[in-house]
């Protein structure tokens, strides 16, 4: 087992291993679907620790579906190093009970993805409303993987549940496979009116020119920074995809450490450590 020490936090990473009887793949997935075939915590830490990253937030990988066992196993094997964001079935009889069960095992958030469902109807479903109610009562963050067209609907949900912590993944995927549109950035920035909304400044390998050192993203990130402030932004890589050909772990962290000249030293510490620490590592 390895113990953590205070340092930079990567707020969004996936890990997995080849399927085993203990940690099987969810229905519909095969080993051939896994790319890369494995990305274990040991591989991850080899990238992270060379860049000064000591703690990491694990995001449940889709290959495992609603079975969060492998993520929980990794957290237990590396006490204090990893926190976790789980995925559960919001259509189950009592999703709030599952949230509380996983909270007791160190989970601090739950990922929500609209998939192929109508976002408006999905947000208004019994299961999602139960999850947001539980999130408010238990201080568990709703991690939103959404495209920019869903931002207005998310804003209504945040106004309806103002006490529920919300973390938007990957800058709402603005500029992924499309230009960074001013109206999309404005929609994201409007959510700063909701005090419990935070944003992951992450997945640079996908956005804009999608080429290191990613300096073309600076004006976009600056607008989000000016809207939310450093206390509601957190850096993340989205590994293993950040270490795909043409990109490195260091490319990602260097943009925040040295590539955004509007950030002060205190701002950088907030993005690289303190926001994620308060959201995913402080006792609740």
pLDDT digits (tens, 9 = 90+) for 259-270: 999 999 999 999
Q: Which residue has the tokens 């419990």?
A: 196
What per-residue confidence (pLDDT) applies to 91? 95
Average pLDDT value for residue range 66-85: 97
User: Average per-residue pLDDT in the chain?
Assistant: 95
How confident is the model at residue 117, as a pLDDT?
82
How confident is residue 6, by pLDDT bands cut at 50, 70 and 90?
low
R_g of the chain, CA atoms, integer Å: 18
Give residue 282's pLDDT: 85
Mean pLDDT of 272-278: 97
Decide if pLDDT at 109 tops 50. Answer: yes
> Is pLDDT of 2 > 60?
no
Q: Which residue has the tokens 């996983």?
A: 102
Tell me whether residue 253 is exposed, middle or buried, using C-beta atoms within 10 angstroms of its C-beta: 0 to 12, 13 to 18, 19 or more.
buried
Cβ neighbours of 265 (radius 10 Å): 7
pLDDT of residue 90: 96
- Output the six-digit token pair for 281: 């590592």
**3-state SS string for 26-41:** CCCCCHHHCCCCCECH
Q: Is the pLDDT of residue 153 over 50?
A: yes
Who wins on pLDDT, 178 or 1? 178
**Which of 2, 8, 1, 78 lies closest to 275 in space, CA to CA?**
8
pLDDT grade, residue 272 (50/70/90)?
Answer: very high
**The pLDDT of residue 283 is above 80:** no
Span 28-64, pLDDT tens digits:
999 999 999 999 999 999 999 999 999 999 999 999 9
In the chain, the percentage of residues whose pLDDT exceeds 90 is: 93
pLDDT of res. 114: 81
For the segment 170-194, what is each residue's pLDDT rounded down to a tens digit?
Answer: 999 999 988 999 999 999 999 999 9
């Amino acid at each position: 087992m390895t113990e953590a020490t205070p340092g930079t936090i990567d707020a969004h990473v996936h890990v997995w291993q080849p399927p085993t009887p203990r940690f099987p793949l969810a229905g519909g997935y095969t080993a051939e679907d896994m790319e890369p075939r494995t990305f274990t915590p040991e591989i991850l830490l080899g990238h992270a620790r060379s860049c000064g990253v000591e703690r990491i937030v694990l995001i449940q990988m889709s290959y495992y579906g609603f079975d969060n066992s492998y993520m929980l196993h990794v957290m237990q094997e590396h006490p204090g190093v990893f926190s976790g964001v789980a995925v559960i079935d919001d259509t189950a009889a009592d999703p709030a009970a599952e949230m509380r069960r996983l909270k007791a095992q160190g989970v601090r958030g739950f990922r929500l993805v609209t998939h192929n469902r109508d976002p408006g109807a999905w947000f208004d479903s019994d299961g999602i409303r139960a999850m947001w109610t539980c999130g408010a009562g238990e201080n568990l963050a709703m991690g939103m993987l959404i495209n920019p067209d869903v931002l207005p609907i998310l804003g209504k949900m945040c106004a309806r549940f103002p006490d529920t912590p919300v973390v938007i993944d990957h800058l709402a995927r603005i500029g992924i496979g499309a230009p960074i549109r001013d109206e999309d950035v404005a929609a994201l920035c409007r959510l700063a009116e909701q005090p419990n909304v935070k944003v992951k400044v992450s997945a640079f390998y996908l956005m804009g020119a999608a080429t290191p050192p990613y300096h073309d993203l600076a004006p976009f990130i600056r607008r989000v920074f000016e809207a939310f402030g450093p206390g509601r932004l957190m850096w993340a890589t989205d590994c293993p995809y950040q270490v795909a050909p043409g990109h490195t772990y260091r490319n990602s962290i260097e943009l925040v450490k040295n590539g955004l000249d509007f950030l002060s030293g205190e701002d950088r510490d907030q993005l690289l450590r303190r926001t994620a620490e308060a959201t995913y590592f402080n006792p609740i």
